[in-house]
Amino acid sequence: MLYGDMTAPAHNPIKSVLWMILTGMLFVSMTALVKYVGRDVPSQQGAFLRYFFGLVWLVPACLRMLREPLGRRVWVLTAARGVFHSAAILFWFYALTEIPFAEVTAMNYLTPVCLTLGAALFLGERQALRRLAAIGVALIGAMVILRPGIREISPGHLAMIFAALCLGGSYVIGKFFADRIDASMVVALLSVGTTIGVAPFALMAWQPLSLQAAGLLFLVATLATAGHYTMTIAFKLAPVAVTQPVTFLQLVWATLTGIIFFGEPLDIWVVTGGGLILAAVSFISWRETVLKRRGVTPAIAATKL
């Protein structure tokens, strides 16, 4: 798996749920900080610094990456993944400056759906009727959020759609790596590739950075790294069928954060659509656990930026 064994047998479901709750808080806090800093820092620059600062926590894995011969194919796929992930994070950071906090969180739930479709198209994974039905429900959820024809679809919404598609492409390659390379190396390769990929766009939009903004972006990178760590612990303590539903709390917290800190109105359509998408992805993951197959769609938290 991308960030741990998601099909491990249950050991301590209660602790796993608590770790996933903490994971959700970390990721929502990270996203809130990105939105806050985005008022003063160009989205391209913020995206670059999020991954550049994150490399601090990956120095051991990066040094190991330089020592071990990975082969030409790995480097070519790393470059391709860097393109996908760089585009995704640029779209995601832009969307945060354009649309409400809760909508970004809800639409991010589409990423595992895009991954499932990508795995079918490019990795040859067979899709059962139940899985296809769940994907259909997720797409209905996206339509509930967007409500085309009822309201105008803004550039921020389109950016989130493209972000989900690009993340799906990134994680298809990540799944290929996960079967062949140690997890820490997968994360290191992704971080280095994304940092390099976003750098040219950041340089074109670069502005002088205040000490406060730099500190907040370093905190963003730290929260993201900590979130992936706590998520990995949760996956080791219980199967994904236990941890998946907990991720719905992220939408609840994102909605409350948007209302309290950013003055955004409560949109019941966003909560409803996000719930449909999450229910569909949870069903897909639950079926994988029941059938004891290798997980295809990672938990939503595992597809965080």
Distances (CA, A) of 247 to 47, 227, 271: 24, 12, 13
Interval 147-155 mean pLDDT: 85
Average pLDDT, the chain: 83
Of residues 278, 284, 283, 280, the one with CA closest to residue 300: 278
- The whole-number pLDDT of residue 6 equals 40
- The whole-number pLDDT of residue 9 equals 47
What dihedral angle (degrees, nearest 10) is formed by the CA atoms of 270, 255, 246, 124?
A: 40
Q: Residues 223, 60, 7, CA angle at the centre, nearest 5°?
A: 65
| Confidence grade of residue 166 (pLDDT, cut at 50, 70, 90) | very high
Q: Hey, is 148 helix, strand or coil?
A: strand
pTM score of the predicted model: 0.81
HSE-up (13 A, CA, CB side) for residue 257:
25
90 vs 57: which has the higher pLDDT: 90
| Confidence grade of residue 70 (pLDDT, cut at 50, 70, 90) | confident
| Confidence grade of residue 3 (pLDDT, cut at 50, 70, 90) | very low
- The whole-number pLDDT of residue 291 equals 60
- For the ranges 15-24, 181-190, 283-292, which has the lowest average pLDDT? 283-292
pLDDT value at 241 more than 70: no
Report the distance separating Cα 80 and Cα 52, nearest Å. 19
Query: What are 243-277's pLDDT values in tens digits?
Result: 767 787 888 889 999 999 999 998 999 999 988 98
Interval 41-68 mean pLDDT: 86
Query: What are 196-220's pLDDT values in tens digits?
Result: 999 999 999 999 999 999 999 999 9
Handedness of CA 220, 225, 230, 235 (dihedral sign): positive
Residue 56 per-residue DSSP state: G
- The percentage of the chain sitting over the pLDDT mark of 90, rounded to a whole number, equals 37
187 vs 99: which has the higher pLDDT: 99
Query: What are 81-134's pLDDT values in tens digits?
Result: 999 999 999 999 999 989 998 999 999 888 878 877 777 776 666 767 777 788
- The whole-number pLDDT of residue 299 equals 52
Q: What residue type is 272 in one-letter code?
A: T
